[in-house]
Structure 1
Amino acid sequence: MLDESFYQKADEIIANHTKEERSLIPIIQDIQAEYRYLPPELLTYVAKEIGITDARAYSVASFYENFSFEPKGKYILKVCDGTACHVRKSTPIMERLRSDLGLEEGRQTTDDMLFTLETVSCLGACGLAPVMMVNDEVHSTMTPDKATELINKIRGEENE
C-alpha cells in the first residue's frame, strides 16, 4: 500500500495532461521520473483516472522496456554487451561491477538504492567499445579497473 503522498503526486502529474488514453505514456513517464520506477498501484490509479482498463494500462507499460515496476537506484549503470562491446571484453566489466556492488546473480539494485546494474544489447557507440552508461552519461573504452574507479568516485561524491 502506497502512502497518500504518492496519489497526490499522481494527481498533480495527471493534471498536467488530458484525461485521455493518449496521455497514458506521458503520465507514466512523469511518474517514473519522479520515483525512478512505476509503482503498480499508481498505474492502476492512473488507468482509473483517465478512463481505461487496468489491462490496457499494464499492456502499454509492460510493452516498453524503459518502464520498470521495480524500484531502481539513483544511478542506473548500463553495460553494453552488444557484439563490439562483448568482443572487447564487456563481460569482465559486468563481473567486476557485480562484485564491487555486492550484487548476487538475479539482483540488479543495491540495498542502499544507490545503484542499479543492467546489461543492454547496444548503446549505439560501437566505436567506443566497451561502453557503459551512468544515467545519461556515456563512459567509453571501459575496463574493470575504470569501472571500479567510477563506482568509488560516485560513492565518494554521495558521502560528501
Structure 2
Amino acid sequence: MFGLAQAARRAAVALNGRRLNPGIRHFSAALNYHLDSPDNNPNVAWEFTEPNKERVREIISHYPSNYKQSAVISLLDLAQQQHGGWIPVSAMNKIAETLGMAPIRVYEVATFYSMFNRAKVGKYHLLVCGTTPCMIRGSCDIEEALLKHLGVKRNEVTKDGMFSVGEMECMGCCVNAPMITVADYTKGSEGFSYNYYEDVTPKRVIEIVEMLRRGETPPVGTQNPDRIKSGPAGGNTTLLSEPKPPPCRDLDAC
C-alpha cells in the first residue's frame, strides 16, 4: 500500500545495504508508509456507526453530487473520532468506497495532513506546539515535562492507554505562547473535543494531565491568571472605553 512511499523505502534499504526492522518506524518515516498489522490491515472490517452514517450523509449533502469527494477530509476526521483517535487503513478504504474515489486518493490526504493519526494514540492526545514563538517561550521544556511525567517517548501511548504526546506546528495562539492542545477521544465522536491550553508552564501541563486523569475538565484558554483571553497581563492599558466613530462618517447610515 502507499506505493510511492514503499518504493522510496525499498530504495533506502538498498542504499543502506540492510533491511529495516518492520516493527520500527525510523524518525519521520511513520508519516510516509503503512505496515499491515493484526489490527490495521485491509481485511479488518470497518464501518461507520449508525449515527455517524447519518452524519456522513449530511456532510456529503453539502457538496454537488459530482464533487462529493471534497468531503474526504471531513469523513477522515469523523472516522478518526469514532476509532479512538486514529484511522486504520480499512476505514480509509470505506471512505474511498463511500465517496466513489480511488483508495490511493484517500491515502494521499491522510498521509499529507498531520492532524490524521495512522497509529494508535491515547484517549487524551496531547499536542505540543513546536513552532518558533512557542519554542522561544519554552515549548521544549513543556514537552520534556510531559514525556518525563508520563514515562513515554513522543508518539508513544502510556501503558493504561490514557495519554500520548505529539508535536503540532503552529495552532494560531502565538500571542499566548507556549500552548498545547488536547484531543479528547474518551467519549467517541459524539463527545469529541479539541481544546487549547495557552500560557502553559511545565508545572501547569502536569496539573492539566492529572485533572484529566481524574475525569475533571481543566479550564481552557490561557492558564495565566493575570490575563483575560489574549489581553495583556495585568489588564488593558489602552482601549479602555467604547471606540468613538470617526467624525467624517455616519456609521448608522451604512
| Bin for the TM-score computed over the shorter chain | 0.7 to 0.9
1:95-144: per-residue Cα shift (whole Å, max 9, x none)?
A: 1100111113x543223221221122222222212112223322222111
What SS does the corresponding residue of 2:127 show, helix, strand or coil? strand
Runs of 4 or more off by more than 6 Å in structure 1? Answer: none
Partner in structure 2 of residue 62 of structure 1: 111
Partner in structure 1 of residue 72 of structure 2: 24
Q: Where does structure 2 lack aligned partners over 5 or more consecutive residues? A: 1-37, 184-193, 217-254
Question: Where is the helix percentage greater, Structure 1 or Structure 2?
Answer: 1
- Percent sequence identity over aligned pairs: 26
Match of residue 121, structure 1, among 164, 169, 178: 169
1:45-100: per-residue Cα shift (whole Å, max 9, x none)?
A: 33234332221221122222222211222212121222222122111111110011
Q: Highest CA radius of gyration, 1 or 2?
A: 2
Partner in structure 2 of residue 155 of structure 1: 213
- The one of the two structures with greater contact order (alpha-carbon pairs below 8 A, sep at least 6) is 1
Partner in structure 1 of residue 136 of structure 2: 87
What SS does the corresponding residue of 1:117 show, helix, strand or coil? strand
Match of residue 111, structure 1, among 156, 159, 168: 159
RMSD: 2.6
C-alpha distance in structure 2 between counterparts of 1:114 and 1:68, whole Å: 16
- Would you say how many aligned residue pairs link Structure 1 and Structure 2? 156
Partner in structure 2 of residue 78 of structure 1: 127
The 8 Å contact of residues 128 and 168 in structure 2, kept in 1 or not, is answered as yes
Q: Where does structure 1 lack aligned partners over 5 or more consecutive residues? A: none
> Would you say 1:99 and 2:148 are equivalent positions?
yes
C-alpha distance in structure 2 between counterparts of 1:118 and 1:150, whole Å: 16
Please report the TM-score for the alignment, with normalisation by the length of structure 1: 0.80
The 8 Å contact of residues 114 and 168 in structure 2, kept in 1 or not, is answered as no
